[in-house]
Structure 1
Amino acid sequence: MVAPRTIIEDPLFFHSFAGVLSILIPEFKTDVRRLVTQLSSQAETLCVPYEILVLDDASGEHWLELNTSILQLKNCFIIANDTNCGRAATRNKLARKAKYNYLIFLDADVQIQSPEFLKNYLNLFSEERDQVFYGSCIYPPQKPVDEIYLLHWMYGTKIENPNLNIRQKNPYRTFHTVNFAVKNSIILKFPFDENIRNYGHEDYVWACLLKQHGIAIIHIDNPVVHEGIYSTRQFLRNTVSAVRNSIKIHKSNKGLIQTKLTKLADYIYLLRLHQLCLFLYKKLEKTMIRNLRGRNPNLWSLQIFKLGIYLRFWSKS
């Protein structure tokens, strides 16, 4: 039996130098044992230097103790933030701690689908080109039995991750941080914006930064399965957080970073229809939320919900 390793808070082991593969997983209150085991099994077959590094974003002792069992696996490590730092700062810290020069970032609530997952990424890396590779994600094909998870599942399967052809036509707009690969030098030079602490849009802001500096995002078909499905209540909370972030980003960048939502809202303000639209939204809000929490949520209602929240908070910001 392999003796458990201790958690290393700031080891010399993590100093950066050229090597091969660092698999990096930001984690908050999520059981990563199955994911790390899958990755470890694949990595062992590659015959290249690798590490799997999990960074716990101050989840608490329960989650840290639960995930500590990954330390029994070869080249697997877990470190922890003392305080919650947010998604952007946690990814930046993982990049700084990474030992090797090729990085694969994965959300903690995914599972690996393809036995060739790591190999598919490794075959794409090039020392000569500065590129980011996005493998996308899919949701479980089975409709959730409990309706409280239905809205997130429907949004994820129908909107969040379009097919490869659509993603290739809009490579920056359709990028997400759930499953991507990048050279360490890129993310150290162009880190995620740590001013974005709450949920939403830190991935799109980073994609826009890459676009401004001529770094391509290459979309490939190498998905993970997104098993972390939120309840409708939490999903709507996250939606509100993302909308509020989009307002802050839109104002701080003077409109340079645009989403479909900000473009529509700008057009409504240009036509001076914002007060009428907000009035109508308030009349319909309770009915829409009941629909979104029900057995047959309408995704158009979700889009109207986003617009209404945007108009409401724009006037207050």
Structure 2
Amino acid sequence: MTTREIDNAAWPDARPRLSVLIPFHRNDPSDLIRRLDSEAAALAGAIELVLLDDGGGDAALTTRVAQRLARLALPARLVVLSQNVGRARGRNRLAAAARGRTFLFLDSDMRPDAPDFLQVWADLEAVQTPAVAIGGFSLLQAPDAPEFAVHRALAAASECIPAAVRARTPEKYVYTSNLMVRRDVFSAEAFDTGFSGWGWEDVEWGLRVARRHKVLHPDNPATHMGLDTVATLAAKYASSGANFARVAERHPEVRNWPGYRAARLLQRLPWPPAVTARLALKAAEEPRLPVRARAFALRLYRAAVYAGALP
């Protein structure tokens, strides 16, 4: 595998405290980095951007992003990999390229909800330098097209949680979509590269880190713009069963979570979980059903996938 690094003019002389780390794979992060750069003047060199093109193989996209970075006021580096290394290895690679004493992981399909989004993070980092902090995410700017209605309902119910609620069980709501972590903490506890497919590597990391460090939940959300159709989301769930089983094996507390209990209940039925999964997915894809019913069916599909993955 080959690696290229492309730096903009502001990169060499910068001495950032906070590195914003953004992986992308065949999707254009230009809108996000444009919005982040709008805060550059107020940040006075305290923040740098590091982006990872994770083996997307789209030369035109790589060129567009490099050209965008060249115009930024914020110091910025683009790391280009010739092969896809996945979510965990990609984030570890981003951290290796960063220079700040603290990292802010942002998914490329996030959009800050406030114009001082980076300033809030920079102030928190300067004053408290927390081990781990989760800003949360919302649906404030997300598309409300009918094909995304089921995902919107799922995210609103289980992921777009107010900071005060997240703080009650801080280890449970650790998402790399908007995550700040101190360099020394990440150096001791990197993402587990044994995960493959989609999902759960950030949750497992959060559970592991929360045993040793306090996890803060400030109210500094960004919008998750990348809502999926039922078919796309179901495909992600289908590839996440082994990851869920890996988390449950390593962290016994997961066995008290509703998703785990549902999976175990489905294992006790007289027919295989695959049958439940097939019927549930059919219901989730039925546009004539109410959105809430389709969202429940998709959660049932996910539980059936996990039932098939658990021993």
Q: State the TM bucket, normalised to the shorter chain.
A: 0.7 to 0.9
Any stretches of 5+ residues in structure 2 without a counterpart? Answer: none
- Residue 48 of structure 1, CA deviation: 3.4
Q: What is the TM-score normalised by the length of structure 1?
A: 0.83
Q: Could you tell me which residue of structure 2 aligns to residue 206 of structure 1?
A: 205
The change in CA–CA distance for 1:8 and 1:256 in structure 2 (over 3 A counts) is: same
CA contact (8 A) 2:11 2:77 kept: no
Q: Could you tell me which residue of structure 2 aligns to residue 148 of structure 1?
A: 147
Q: What is the percent sequence identity of the aligned residues?
A: 21
Q: Say which is worse superposed, 196-205 or 305-314, in terms of deviation.
A: 305-314
CA–CA distance in structure 2, aligned partners of residues 303 and 172 of structure 1: 22
CA–CA distance in structure 2, aligned partners of residues 119 and 212 of structure 1: 29
CA–CA distance in structure 1, aligned partners of residues 151 and 297 of structure 2: 13
Measured on the aligned residues, the alpha-carbon RMSD in Å equals 3.0
- Residue 49 of structure 1, CA deviation: 3.5
Q: What is the TM-score normalised by the length of structure 2?
A: 0.85
How does 1:24-39 map onto structure 2 within 5 Å?
A: 24-39=21-36
CA–CA distance in structure 2, aligned partners of residues 279 and 172 of structure 1: 31
SS of 2:226 mapped into structure 1: coil
- Residue 100 of structure 1, CA deviation: 1.5
Q: Could you tell me which residue of structure 2 aligns to residue 83 of structure 1?
A: 83
The change in CA–CA distance for 1:40 and 1:286 in structure 2 (over 3 A counts) is: closer
CA contact (8 A) 1:54 1:77 kept: yes
Q: Could you tell me which residue of structure 2 aligns to residue 290 of structure 1?
A: 285
Give the residue type in structure 2 aligned to 1:296: V
Please say if 1:53 is aligned against 2:64: no
CA–CA distance in structure 2, aligned partners of residues 196 and 263 of structure 1: 22
- Residue 158 of structure 1, CA deviation: 2.6
The change in CA–CA distance for 1:280 and 1:35 in structure 2 (over 3 A counts) is: closer
The change in CA–CA distance for 1:216 and 1:59 in structure 2 (over 3 A counts) is: same
Q: Could you tell me which residue of structure 1 aligns to residue 167 of structure 2?
A: 168
CA contact (8 A) 1:149 1:230 kept: yes
1:251-302: CA deviations, max 9, x gaps?
A: 4x27465443223434666xxx243574872684354233379663522212
1:110-162: CA deviations, max 9, x gaps?
A: 112212111211222268765211111111467623x3222212212232221
Q: Could you tell me which residue of structure 2 aligns to residue 62 of structure 1?
A: 60
SS of 1:177 mapped into structure 2: coil
SS of 2:195 mapped into structure 1: coil
CA–CA distance in structure 1, aligned partners of residues 36 and 141 of structure 2: 22
CA–CA distance in structure 1, aligned partners of residues 126 and 31 of structure 2: 30
Tell me how many residue pairs correspond in the alignment.
Answer: 301
